[in-house]
Structure 1
Amino acid sequence: MQDLAAGEVFAALASSPRGLAEEEAAARLRSGGANELPPPRRPAVWRRFAAQFTDLFAVMLLTASAITFLAYALQRPQQPGTLQLAVAILGVVVLNAAIGFAQEYSAERTAESLQAMVPHACRVLRGGERRELPVRGLVPGDVVVLEAGDAVPADCRLVEAHEAAVGNAALTGESAAVRRTAEPSPGPLLGSRNCVFMGTVVAAGSARAVVFATGAATQFGRIFALTEQAPQPRTPLQRQVRVMARRVAVAALLIGTLLFAVRVPTGEPLLPAFVFALGVMVALVPEGLPATLSVSLAFGVRRMARRQALVKRLLAVEALGSTTVVCTDKTGTLTSAEMTVSAVWCGGAEYPVTGVGYAPEGAVSGPGAVRELLRTAALCSNARLVPPAGREGWRVLGDTTEGALLVAAAKAGLDRAAEEGALPRVAEFPFDSARKLMSTVHRTPGGGLAVCAKGAPQQLLDRCAAVAGEGGGPPVPLTAERRAAVAAADAALASRGLRVLAVARRDAAAVPAGAAEAESGLVLLGLVGMLDPPRPEVAEAVRACRRAGIRIVMVTGDHPLTAEAIARRVGIVRGGPPQVATGERLDALDDAALEGLLARPGELLLCRVSPEHKMRVVAAFQRRGEVVAVTGDGANDAPALKHADIGVAMGASGTDVAREAAVMVLLDDSFASIAAAVRLGRSVYLNIRRFLVYLFSHNIGELAPILAATFAGFPLVPITAVQVLAIDLGSDVLPALALGTEPPEPDVMDRPPRSPREPLFSRALVGRFLFLGAVQSVGVCTVFFWHIHASGIPYADFTRETPAYRTAITLSQAAIVVSQFFNALAVRTDRQSVFRVGLLANRKVVAAGLLGVSLMAAISYWPPLQAVFGTAPLTAGDWAVLVAFGVLLLVAEEGRKWAVRRRAARSVPGRGAEHRAPGRGAGAAGGGLPGKGLPGRGLPDKGLPEKGLPDKELPEKGLPDKELPEKGLPDKELPEKGLPDGGGT
């Protein structure tokens, strides 16, 4: 299609310059379908709810409940306690499923946002008449009319083009608008200059085009298909919870089987022995873990939302903390996607320009000297600067480069409308890629004519005979020496990553006959350097990620020089030349060679890449064991966003396709929010490990007395299965959730990323909950057997209704609940004394623990609950003993922390345990975090306070940028030649 002449396009598509007839368009619509993308595939709501019952814990508990119901049916006489146990287990499963489903469903965005990317209406020729039709009604062969500011509704071949330029950033990632032509353009379709594609925007000019692809057949639809095909990888936490669940399940089955085998030979009937073993298995399964995990992650989601980061999948919160590589887009992510003039060279001097973006806020140094230059540049522009309206800020209608010139002119005090009124345009010689210039002719107030020109410096310099004098004074001849000075200024600006334009002017007696005549004998007024500026907060966010041991790789569709300039400004590149690989080079590499490229140490920039390249890079990093976060804002980023472990889309400037594919959306488009989200993600993981220690330690306290009673020959259990469920879901869930609100530790971003292969049940974590569980077991066994022996009743005479037994099992349950209150206080810190951080600092933990104790008191004293649990009232003396055992547990844990601190102090001569080197701190379970080398260790942390950040301490709009160099990069860092002007003026 792209290699045909304009007249041949109509024949190829069975159309005409008058467009299609209504009857033909209707027939094509029926046969080809509407111009819309299929809605994203979502599982039915019932399937999503049913999926909550498929994890291993749920399957185990459902099986246990079914077996218990069967046991109740077979018992003679039937025991109400068995029925209570079966119903309670089933209720636990349903409760966990409901909580998990509700959290996931509320966190996900359910709108079909892909359709919002396509404009709702467009202008079409039908039978020679210009009509406005719904976009979904377009068919191949339709002739559409495009003007500046229009979104392209389908893939089209231009047949007329009048200074048309299209911004392809959403599709290719290139920041500059690209000129379009109606002439044949052989080569790849996406790179052809005579085609425009769905989802892109007409930046300047006007055109007529013939539709050749609609809906899923468009380039946009191809990217959508890639996005749909990309599998959603499991997060590290998902994988580790599955491993943990398998291990717990195996342990529970083995111990239950062992106890069944031990009790049957003693003469106990098979069914009671089986129900007993089943109760032991239930005691070992952390029934409250799924609900605790879901709600804790949801709390992390809410905290991130206050940081302007919307997380759509709960488990992605934790995966953020495991991130080892961030593949970041450039345009709109690191930069503001708003071209900005930052320097003007005129008369041998450089004049800085302050302010960024399209808002005319800032100033031009020496406005008098550059006033004529900026007036000429503004007159020789077709763009329009549009003031804020509604929720939209300042924006440019037309070419963004020309928009930057208009903003600079406004900063110098020039009124574009007034200047055009004083010097009306009478002719224009449009830009073309051959001469790389544009010129306009204006009538002056005195009746004469003035030619204004702008374009690539070298091309314009060759057409100049003079140059503005010092301070913008009268022109002087362009000698070889002055020509060299201009070339040196051009190279200096370009070496800082600036796009450089030259501006010239001359007087004329008559309207020139052509561009060659107009653009000769000009007076060079000077040079303008501009760039798409980095977001102010990005540099600090990059430093934070470096301290955290996270590698940042820029992946962009832009030119390598532009990419390197921005990378240096934000700190992604700091030393010598980085490794740079283009899409062509990636095409030449097989998977093994690509992995080798990514494995090389040092800074890496991937430029001129396609959506397929981005997906290959993400997959290659994942094969190397990396946890990959990908940032992006365009439709071209969507496949990689979905394929990554964490897809991060821009919320304000990003496309709906990108937001749909990502699992995290930055509502403020701030890269700094990524660093804040990683910090919170790491904190969430550490808190998960804390409540794992808390939950599993009391499982030891429940199991140990049961084992002790079995081997001591006591005929009944020290704690019943219904009591176990009451502890797991009544007394323990709220304190576990409260532990999830612990603020991040001070050095959480000074540690290397946690290895994805590090087990959730690390040796340190298991050792810690075994230690705490052992202390609890001593207390539970002591109070239970002390009361049994104090009664003076032989073991064989005990029944479930014996008052001494009811009091003993009440003591067992209360001992676990009270010790867990002190346990929750103890596990809030890993090595630091809890008394140092404040025993009651986390009021949520204290309140939740007291609520659990109150529930235990109700079970002990309230007759209806006594009947359900078979308990008895406790005395004040009983409570005093239980509190003493709780204090003993807290003291024991403080002693363990003291030993860890002492050992750490001996391992680091001259330094206490509280001042160990960053990145070597203990994990949440008291052990170190294995990791990789942490680059940038020597960088001071100026952005994040040392004491940890509660929610209110991070500014919502990102961190201030204290590191952006005012003068750009030294000349030696980039080649002397300037950036390609991209065909723009």
Structure 2
Amino acid sequence: MSGGHASTDPPVTGGRKGEAVGTTSGSGTRSAVSQLPAGEVFSALGTSRRGLPAAQARDGLEKYGANELPRAGRRAVWRQLGAQFTDLFAVVLIIASGITFLAYALQEPRDVDTFRLAVAILGVVVLNAAIGFAQEYSAERTAQALEAMVPHTCRVLRGGERLELPTRELVPGDVVVLEAGDAVSADCRVVEAHELSVNNAPLTGESNAVDRTADPVAAGPLVEARNCVFMGTDVVAGSGRAVVFATGEATEFGRIYRLAAAAPRQKTPLQLQVASMARRVAGAALAIGALMFAVRLPTGESVVTLFVFALGVMVALVPEGLPATLSVSLAIGVRRMARRHALIKQLLAVEALGSTTVVCTDKTGTLTQAEMTVTQVWAGGAPHPVTGVGYEPSGEVADAAPVRELLRVAGLCSNARLVAPTGPREHWRVLGDTTEGALLVVADKAGLDLGAEEAAAPRVTEFPFDSDRKLMTTVHKTGDGYQACVKGAPGELLARCTDVEWDGRRRRLTGEDRAAVAAAGDALASQGLRVLAVARRELDGPRPAQEEAESALTLLGLVGMLDPPRPEVTDAVAACRRAGIRVVMVTGDHPLTAEAVARRVGIVRRPDPVVVTGARLDAMDGEALDSLLAEPSDLLLCRVSPEHKMRVVTAFQRRGEVVAVTGDGANDAPALKHADIGVAMGASGTDVAREAASMVLLDDSFASIAAAVRLGRAVYQNIRKFLVYLFSHNIGELIPILAATFAGFPLVPISAVQILAIDLGSDVLPALALGAEPPEPDVMDRPPRSRHERLFSAAVVGRILFLGGIQATCVSAVFFWHIGSAGIPFDAFTKDTLAYQEAITMVQAGIVLSQFFNALTVRSDRQSILKAGLLSNPALLAAGGFGVAFMVAISYAPPLQAVFNTAPLDAADWAVLAGLGTLPLLADEARKGWLRRAARGKGDPR
């Protein structure tokens, strides 16, 4: 059947909304339309060659819905903001604030400053929420980005009339008109094709343009059907007509949308560890507070007094400033990465980068320029290297004179057009086939003016390329005669050649010549180059038969081209290897092309890499895939689909790896979202890839990944530094309270109000300054930490106990020395006793001073403070100075004395405290010196 009339409804229904052909059984049924002859497609889809009548199109729009992707359901703003307060550490802070409010309510008389401090803790919670909300607000717009990739208008036949309509009005059965430069608006079956080729990279990841045909094809995956075009792809050459069979969510693009929407965001290692830490801290604070309450209950003190005492213990264990410090430290990392052209959309993604163990990278546009470039011209037995990269015609052809005729013929036998940039932010680009665009560029590099050549030899006939002949031929008027210009696959073209013209001399093509040409073609192909042969023939008339135009040809030579790697990628891959990060290429491209690029950039170094295609992945079960990924060999995954990428990412994560995925196409979106950290290309990437990712490379440079990993590792190191800093003084606050309890002293050595003043007034700024420490010199020479490594490792906990124990011993000794020197019995002390006020002032001042020196020593695990430089972090010195100044004001300013129940200290007191405050620094310097000596004894230069 052919040319059927339009019917009221398509004959086969019941599929997903937006599909005209029965689709409930999956892609196998959908592919039925690809198996029909072009003439039968119209009747199968309920249309005709004239397109749908207007009335039927209106009915179709109501039946199938608009040709658009559904908007992602988004939580209300108030819900997004409220979610920031449900984080466990935020809950811990809220509990601490509630306890402080309760203490205020239980005090007699009530102290308004206790109320103000409780409000200040809530202020920290609000600050954390504001920072997190601002960073996460725009992270979930994948569906809108997918919709933005669809063109807004398209050309359609409706009742025989050619119209330009909004793409959302397309319905199954519409006949669309396709031309070079168009974006495809729906999934369509091609019914007319004139040199039609499309770029499927946004959908499949394959870089080369693929030809389309109107002929039926055998059953198989729909996305591989050569007679179908798909939403979100582009027409790069030729023209044609196609009938819509799927719109909106029913398209292949819609399938990717559903995958991306269904993929959950993975929690980073830091998120998991901070949550675990918050649970442990909250549990410990409540347990120890309750224990202290129970221990002192038999003493006969009032319940309110005991509760306030337990409050002091609990507050001593809760680092109120940690969430704000953590968020701002991550924000500092975000700003640093932005200066390296890496935009971080989620704060915690900064740290996740630092723990990355595997990078699954796309090829096209990520490792390569996404611009075909001629790198070799071969003629007369000699190669002619070509410099320059991309479509900008800057560079030269070595010894160009012998190959100008070859490049002239290749340029004439092309339909592409080279477009110069019109603005400062634009680049050279190609309209049409990218391979032909590369030929135009190399002709310009050889000094040819193709415009003048085309004027001197106007085209009169063309025999388009097809996959059977693997040739393209154009016929031109040249003076008194005509000339056929032919380009195509070397094997096909060489078989049609009888002569050869090298160095301006034409002669018969010998068997030795054929062997030399074949060997040269193989050599170029082995380098991963796409090879074309170029020939010509003189003709008698303008309308030769195709067989005549493409026989008895004169061979001119070969052209080798590739999508070149970015120049900075090799160093970036090497840096990742030094850092212990495995780089795996995951691409939709051909295995040979992928391996050639992987070798150029250093991903493949061994002679026998493991190359696995999507078809082989389909045949693997989970155990086989795990075994494959466990092998230490160089690994390339080629011809893979979005589902394959997600499966590989999940398998790596199942092995305990922290996985970063790079990509630029819509086909990468599900894997980008499912990965621990998705890295999208900002300049060449699609909107959906950018929205699904946690990080966007603004310059599309893979090198920015290595720089971001370095900064991410520094962020994690800095987090550990201020954890040691913050938690060590918690010990200094807790131990004196416990000591006073077991010694039978009726009052606390440091009150809850004083603890909050230390936590919020003296600790936050130095901790923030520690968060801004630059990366240590050897940070990229260390292996990535394990996904299961705890934030509070044994080394971190040991250092907290070491430094905190020294502080606790010093301030406890000072307290009991001052209390004892007063000569007053313990039970005679009250809150208003001057000796008690001086003692608790000394405890608070002792902690503040020791923390000033503590901040200096925790800047490095092993490096001496003298080598790091006492003045190398001026912000830290300023922050510590502010804390000391605040403590001085608490000691001497009467309004603050009233708030904190403190008393002025004399010079001798400050001298004693300063001397004791240096002890953590001196002790840790001795520890570092011992570690350095031990490391040198084991051959570690650090």
RMSD, matched Cα: 1.8
Aligned residues: 908
Please tell me whether the aligned partners of residues 168 and 175 of structure 1 are also in contact (alpha carbons under 8 angstroms): yes
DSSP-derived class of the 1:190 partner: helix
- Describe the shift of the 1:18–1:290 C-alpha distance in structure 2 as closer, same or farther (beyond 3 A): same
Cα distance in 2 between the residues matched to 1:99 and 1:501: 56
Cα distance in 1 between the residues matched to 2:517 and 2:122: 81
| Superposed CA offset, 1:775-807 (max 9, x none) | 111222233223222333322222222233222
Aligned counterpart in structure 1 of residue 203 of structure 2, from 171, 189, 193:
171
Cα distance in 1 between the residues matched to 2:211 and 2:189: 14
Moved more, 4-13 or 665-674: 4-13
Aligned to 1:517: 548
Aligned to 2:562: 531
| Equivalences for residues 327-476 of structure 1 within 5 A | 327-390=360-423, 391-444=425-478, 446-469=479-502, 472-476=503-507
| Superposed CA offset, 1:87-120 (max 9, x none) | 4544443343334334444888899433321112
Cα distance in 2 between the residues matched to 1:61 and 1:423: 80
Please tell me whether the aligned partners of residues 157 and 196 of structure 1 are also in contact (alpha carbons under 8 angstroms): yes
DSSP-derived class of the 1:468 partner: strand
Cα distance in 2 between the residues matched to 1:120 and 1:768: 61
DSSP-derived class of the 1:717 partner: coil
Percent identical pairs in the alignment equals: 73
Please tell me whether the aligned partners of residues 57 and 285 of structure 1 are also in contact (alpha carbons under 8 angstroms): no
Aligned to 1:725: 756
Cα distance in 1 between the residues matched to 2:113 and 2:829: 17
| Superposed CA offset, 1:839-893 (max 9, x none) | 1111111111111222222323333333322223333333222222222221111
- Describe the shift of the 1:103–1:159 C-alpha distance in structure 2 as closer, same or farther (beyond 3 A): closer
Q: In the alignment, residue 427 of structure 2 is paired with which amino acid?
A: G
- Describe the shift of the 1:835–1:70 C-alpha distance in structure 2 as closer, same or farther (beyond 3 A): closer
5+ residue gaps, structure 2: 1-32
Please tell me whether the aligned partners of residues 182 and 234 of structure 2 are also in contact (alpha carbons under 8 angstroms): yes
Aligned counterpart in structure 2 of residue 3 of structure 1, from 22, 32, 35:
35
Aligned to 2:3: none
Cα distance in 2 between the residues matched to 1:110 and 1:138: 22
DSSP-derived class of the 2:598 partner: helix
Q: In the alignment, residue 456 of structure 2 is paired with which amino acid?
A: A
Question: CA shift at 1:31, angstroms?
Answer: 3.0
Cα distance in 2 between the residues matched to 1:107 and 1:796: 60
Taking structure 1 as the reference length, what is the TM-score of the superposition? 0.90
Aligned to 1:845: 876
Cα distance in 1 between the residues matched to 2:327 and 2:545: 71
The answer to whether the aligner puts 1:39 opposite 2:59 as a matched pair is no
Please tell me whether the aligned partners of residues 463 and 521 of structure 1 are also in contact (alpha carbons under 8 angstroms): yes
Cα distance in 2 between the residues matched to 1:62 and 1:809: 27
- Describe the shift of the 1:55–1:236 C-alpha distance in structure 2 as closer, same or farther (beyond 3 A): same
DSSP-derived class of the 2:696 partner: strand
Aligned counterpart in structure 2 of residue 60 of structure 1, from 92, 100, 103:
92
Moved more, 458-467 or 808-817: 808-817
Cα distance in 1 between the residues matched to 2:697 and 2:802: 42
Moved more, 211-220 or 538-547: 211-220
DSSP-derived class of the 2:255 partner: helix
Aligned to 2:340: 307
Cα distance in 2 between the residues matched to 1:217 and 1:26: 19
Aligned counterpart in structure 1 of residue 779 of structure 2, from 748, 753, 768:
748
Aligned counterpart in structure 1 of residue 309 of structure 2, from 253, 264, 276:
276
Aligned counterpart in structure 1 of residue 230 of structure 2, from 187, 190, 197:
197
Aligned counterpart in structure 2 of residue 813 of structure 1, from 822, 834, 844:
844
- Describe the shift of the 1:30–1:803 C-alpha distance in structure 2 as closer, same or farther (beyond 3 A): farther
Q: In the alignment, residue 723 of structure 1 is paired with which amino acid?
A: Q
Please tell me whether the aligned partners of residues 680 and 697 of structure 2 are also in contact (alpha carbons under 8 angstroms): yes
Question: CA shift at 1:813, angstroms?
Answer: 1.5
Cα distance in 2 between the residues matched to 1:735 and 1:266: 40
| Superposed CA offset, 1:476-531 (max 9, x none) | 11111111111111111111111110000110112354321110000000000111
Cα distance in 2 between the residues matched to 1:152 and 1:756: 43
DSSP-derived class of the 1:385 partner: strand
Aligned to 1:923: none
Question: CA shift at 1:832, angstroms?
Answer: 1.0
Aligned to 1:322: 355
Q: In the alignment, residue 176 of structure 2 is paired with which amino acid?
A: V
Please tell me whether the aligned partners of residues 67 and 170 of structure 2 are also in contact (alpha carbons under 8 angstroms): yes
Cα distance in 2 between the residues matched to 1:844 and 1:360: 50
Please tell me whether the aligned partners of residues 292 and 737 of structure 1 are also in contact (alpha carbons under 8 angstroms): yes
Cα distance in 1 between the residues matched to 2:848 and 2:101: 28
Cα distance in 2 between the residues matched to 1:138 and 1:103: 37
Aligned to 1:134: 166
Aligned to 1:488: 519
Question: CA shift at 1:71, angstroms?
Answer: 5.8
Question: CA shift at 1:896, angstroms?
Answer: 1.2
Q: In the alignment, residue 637 of structure 2 is paired with which amino acid?
A: L
Aligned to 2:178: 146
Taking structure 2 as the reference length, what is the TM-score of the superposition? 0.94
Please tell me whether the aligned partners of residues 114 and 660 of structure 1 are also in contact (alpha carbons under 8 angstroms): no
Question: CA shift at 1:80, angstroms?
Answer: 5.6
Aligned to 2:193: 161
Question: CA shift at 1:648, angstroms?
Answer: 0.6
| Superposed CA offset, 1:366-399 (max 9, x none) | 1110000000000001111111122220011111
- Describe the shift of the 1:88–1:716 C-alpha distance in structure 2 as closer, same or farther (beyond 3 A): farther
Cα distance in 1 between the residues matched to 2:485 and 2:117: 88
Cα distance in 2 between the residues matched to 1:807 and 1:826: 29
- Describe the shift of the 1:67–1:252 C-alpha distance in structure 2 as closer, same or farther (beyond 3 A): closer
The answer to whether the aligner puts 1:804 opposite 2:804 as a matched pair is no
Please tell me whether the aligned partners of residues 108 and 313 of structure 1 are also in contact (alpha carbons under 8 angstroms): no
- Describe the shift of the 1:79–1:741 C-alpha distance in structure 2 as closer, same or farther (beyond 3 A): closer
- Describe the shift of the 1:98–1:792 C-alpha distance in structure 2 as closer, same or farther (beyond 3 A): farther
- Describe the shift of the 1:439–1:102 C-alpha distance in structure 2 as closer, same or farther (beyond 3 A): closer
DSSP-derived class of the 1:458 partner: helix
5+ residue gaps, structure 1: 917-985
Please tell me whether the aligned partners of residues 496 and 565 of structure 1 are also in contact (alpha carbons under 8 angstroms): yes
Question: CA shift at 1:401, angstroms?
Answer: 0.6
Cα distance in 2 between the residues matched to 1:92 and 1:380: 69
Cα distance in 2 between the residues matched to 1:481 and 1:64: 88
Moved more, 120-129 or 209-218: 120-129
| Superposed CA offset, 1:669-726 (max 9, x none) | 0000000011111111011101110011010111111111111111111111121112
Aligned to 1:933: none
Aligned to 1:945: none
| Equivalences for residues 660-699 of structure 1 within 5 A | 660-699=691-730
Cα distance in 2 between the residues matched to 1:556 and 1:475: 44
The answer to whether the aligner puts 1:498 opposite 2:529 as a matched pair is yes
DSSP-derived class of the 1:136 partner: helix
Structure number with the bigger relative contact order (C-alpha 8 A, sep ≥ 6) is 1
Aligned to 2:261: 228
DSSP-derived class of the 1:828 partner: coil
Aligned to 2:867: 836
| Superposed CA offset, 1:389-424 (max 9, x none) | 222200111111111111000000111211110000
Cα distance in 2 between the residues matched to 1:405 and 1:88: 68
Aligned to 1:738: 769
Q: In the alignment, residue 447 of structure 1 is paired with which amino acid?
A: D
Moved more, 742-751 or 96-105: 96-105
- Describe the shift of the 1:407–1:632 C-alpha distance in structure 2 as closer, same or farther (beyond 3 A): same
DSSP-derived class of the 2:537 partner: strand
Question: CA shift at 1:548, angstroms?
Answer: 0.5
- Describe the shift of the 1:742–1:260 C-alpha distance in structure 2 as closer, same or farther (beyond 3 A): same
- Describe the shift of the 1:550–1:26 C-alpha distance in structure 2 as closer, same or farther (beyond 3 A): same
Aligned to 2:16: none
The answer to whether the aligner puts 1:867 opposite 2:895 as a matched pair is no
- Describe the shift of the 1:111–1:833 C-alpha distance in structure 2 as closer, same or farther (beyond 3 A): farther
